[in-house]
Homo-oligomer: A and B are copies of this chain.
Amino acid sequence: MANLNSSEDIDYGILDTLVGYKLRRAQVNIFNDFSEHCSRFGITPGLFGVLSIVERNPGLTQTAIANALGNDRSAMVSVVDRLESMNIVERKPSASDRRSHALFLTPHGEIFYKELVAEVLKHEASFTSLLNEGEKPLIIDMLDRIANHKPAKQ
């Protein structure tokens, strides 16, 4: 009897030629591995993005960070709440604008982030090992092109 559940004989048709579909499958797999690596830190890919921006750009506002990451500022609230509750990030009143909060890593956050980055780099190396000489800068360049492409509305 034919095995209707085997995925070996599946014809993916056009999906095998679509960059978007392949991007999706790759992104899900690499994010799952990231999450496994960083679960002991309690850090998800989204939290890591915020931490990385704060670490390199201390004093930015929540809205600036949301814009940098392409997210809505409303989503920043619970993220920063979580990072503050973990004693990794702190909100400080902005000197120039009393509406906004300036974000900084705490002293513990600085140490935490360094250990976290070491784990992230292990994860990254595992995937980078799949790429041949010169392929990593090339795929990052291609992904930048795709990420920044804004087709004209029709």
Contacts of A29 in B (CB 8 A): 146-149
Count of this chain's copies in the oligomeric assembly: 2
Report whether over half of chain A's contact residues are helix, strand or loop; otherwise say mixed: helix
* B-contacting 9-mer, from A45-53, A83-91, A104-112: A45-53
Contacts of A130 in B (CB 8 A): 142, 145-146, 149
**Are A149 and B124 neighbours in the complex by a CB distance under 8 Å?**
no
Contacts of A16 in B (CB 8 A): 140
Binding site for B on A (CB under 8 A): 1-2, 4-7, 10-31, 33-34, 36, 45, 49, 52-53, 55-57, 59-61, 63-64, 67-68, 70, 94, 96-97, 100, 102, 117, 120, 123-124, 126-128, 130-131, 135-136, 138-140, 142-149, 151, 153
Q: List 13 A-B contacts (CB under 8 A).
A: A5-B61, A5-B64, A10-B64, A12-B52, A12-B56, A14-B52, A14-B117, A15-B52, A19-B127, A19-B128, A23-B30, A29-B147, A126-B151
